[in-house]
A = this chain, B = another copy of it.
Amino acid sequence: MGFNQEKITISDVAEALGISKTTVSRAISGKGRRQKVIDYIREHDYVPSPIAKGLANSRNYNIGWVMPGDSTVTDLPFFQRCMIGISEIANKRDYDMILTLVYDGDITALERIVKNHKIDGIILGRTLIEDERVEFLKASNVPFVAIGSSEYREVIQIDNDHISACKELTSVLISKGIKKIALIGGKSNHVVNRTRLEGFKKGVSEQGLAIDEGHIFMDADDPLSVSQAVETALQDKMECIVCMDDRICLAALDCLKRDGVSIPQDIKIASFYNSSLLENYVPSITALQYDPKVLGMEACNALLDIIDGIDVPNRKLLGYEVVLKDSTKE
């Protein structure tokens, strides 16, 4: 059973050294510090079995990384970067990552790893306003953290500081003299979009402008809706279009190009999220810059801390950069 390999166990080590398993175990876990043992296991490269270890203290040294199975091309790079951060930290702390795909309205895959006790904790990849995954996890008492903010107060959250970031970018734009500013946003049941909207409004208010609800286009998550929003913005002679994410921004840019509108002469444009998709665009696009990898690392550290019984803050917000480029030049 299993694949053959030099299966040297803790008993072997104990026997070879003429001491008890207990001593070996202690030496390994840093309690007893017997150099002999350390040397021996290194030399014979003995690796403790995580399965046995798991059985002994009901853990399996795996965490679950839950990603929406229906992620679009544009989401993927973000999740990939998070994932890199997660697995880097996980491995460093001797954990591995079980990847689970869940779909809207079907969380069976999540239920299975929890019920089967395949994981010691879970990292949630994106949060919704009403999130059945969160509900389920709370009910089943599994340690978990969410990447992205959540309205559920008790949930441990790691997020970028979208509010401050969006507020700042908006504010900076307005302070450059822009008065008529439109916002095109994605699905409003994604927490992140709500948060960005909030930041935007704060930025507008901060600069003493009125919120122009007529030019805030939410739920524009397909090219057609974006196109309609852009057309309206053009007709109403808006000076700047702010897009909530890279995909929307790209769609908007497409429309503008199609219509022969030049940037930034005819209209300015900016994005609340930068990504590889947007990076090489000409003209260069003013955008907020985050680091999803760090998000993953922080989330993983938080989760493992919780598992280890260490207290972690309920909410951690990470930094951002406002990067001004040609698309908003005077």
Contact = CB atoms under 8 A, between A and B. Distances in A.
Contact of A109 (B49, B87, B115): B87
Interface in A118-159: 118, 120, 140-143
Contact of A99 (B47, B49, B87): B87
Count the copies.
Answer: 2
A69 interface: yes
A262 interface: no
Contact of A101 (B3, B51, B84, B100): B84
Given A50-B116, A59-B2, A84 B98 contact: no
B80 A71 contact: yes
A5 interface: yes
Given A47-B116, A51-B60, A96-B118, 4 more contacts: A1-B58, A2-B117, A51-B117, A99-B99
Interface in A282-314: none
Contact of A113 (B55, B96, B120, B276): B96
A296 B56 CA distance: 34
Contact of A97 (B59, B98, B276): B98
Contacts of A87: 99-101, 109
Contacts of A113: 96
A4 B51 contact: no
Interface residues of A, number: 50
A309 B124 CA distance: 36
Nearest to A69: B84
Contacts of A5: 117, 140-141
B3 A141 contact: yes
Interface string A99-113: 111000000010011
- The residue in A2, A49, A50 that gathers the most chain B C-beta atoms within 10 A of its C-beta is A2
B57 A55 contact: no
A54 B80 CA distance: 30
A236 B145 CA distance: 58
10 contacts: A2-B120, A5-B117, A45-B115, A49-B55, A50-B116, A50-B118, A51-B117, A54-B54, A62-B98, A71-B80
A210 to B, nearest CB: 38
A224 interface: no
